[in-house]
Amino acid sequence: MTTRLSSVSKSLFIASLALPLIAACGDDEADHDHDHDVDASTSTPDAEPADAGPQAVAIQFAARVGGTAFACGQTYTGIGSAASDYVGAEFRFYVHDLALVPAGGGAPVPVTLDDDANQNAAAGLAMVDFEDGTAECQTGNAGTHTAITGTVPPGSYDGVVFKVGVPFALNHLDPTTAAPPLDATGMYWSWRAGYKFLRIDGVVGGNPFNVHLGSTGCTSATPETPPDTACVNPNIMDITLASFDPSADTIVADIGPVLATVDVSANTAATAPGCQSFPDDPECTFVFPLLGLAYQGTAAGSQALFTVE
């Protein structure tokens, strides 16, 4: 009797020792499952990537004459083939189809423009304006616009492309009723001729020497009637600039190199002052090739107006 009781007691004692171990194992398993659930819900590989949204950009422009910053009324020396004194009087141009080139290559990515008084998002058109309405610059207003702003998809970019001009579908509107920035009457010729894509004016010896770029060979019934078909000479500049960082670099427009081979102190009789795109203007045979455009048998050269800094 005594021996059997001792055996039972021994069995109960061993069981009592085993119970805490079983409980401990159960707690470890529960803790492990709990920790696993937390890790699964927060682990990086399973998480959805956050949508960064559009990337804001501001494409900076600067205007110069022979390497010196443009200002209304300022005199610049050594301009043109005769090294003349040139007084700044106007500096504006239209830009459309602005796009950035992805780093590493690929098709240019269009910039979606912001809307303001100098940019039209729906048209993809902007005006870059350095004319401030003071001194000799009196064809515009006090406002300037030296950066084109908008958005692109998130990414890294190292080049820029754009056109200087106004698309044909918009080039023959009425500027008195057109939406900005096509409401600038100082950048307009007529319904038939359309807009001045680029207007850079100077005064040399009291006489104007102007560079006005626009379409020619546009036909319609009267000068006040828009053409129905494309102009013979669209005269739109296609610009490609490599090694351009939109977050740090500036696009410089310098009229000095464009005027380097023409005598800005003289002008052919019975022609518009300077080069204003019209046919049979000898001054344009010097200017157009350096805008990257052909002109009446004179071949286009490499454009010298725009560089990157």
Is the same domain home to 133 and 265? yes
Is the same domain home to 12 and 89? no
Is the same domain home to 5 and 132? no
Tokens of 145: 């616009």
Number of domains composing the chain:
2
Is the same domain home to 170 and 274? yes
Report whether 224 contacts 140 (CB < 8 A): no
Is the same domain home to 2 and 120? no
Is the same domain home to 31 and 64? no
**pLDDT tens digits in sequence order for the chain, 309 residues long:** 444 444 434 443 334 434 343 344 344 433 444 343 434 444 444 444 556 789 999 999 999 999 999 999 999 999 999 999 999 999 999 999 999 999 988 999 999 999 999 999 999 999 999 999 998 898 888 899 999 999 999 999 999 999 999 999 999 999 999 999 999 999 999 888 999 999 999 999 999 999 999 999 999 998 888 999 999 999 999 999 999 999 999 999 999 999 999 999 999 999 999 999 999 999 999 999 999 999 999 999 999 999 999
Is the same domain home to 91 and 184? yes
Is the same domain home to 6 and 110? no
pLDDT at 37 (0 to 100): 42
pLDDT at 111 (0 to 100): 98
- Domain of residue 200: give its range: 55-308
Is the same domain home to 242 and 197? yes
Is the same domain home to 42 and 89? no
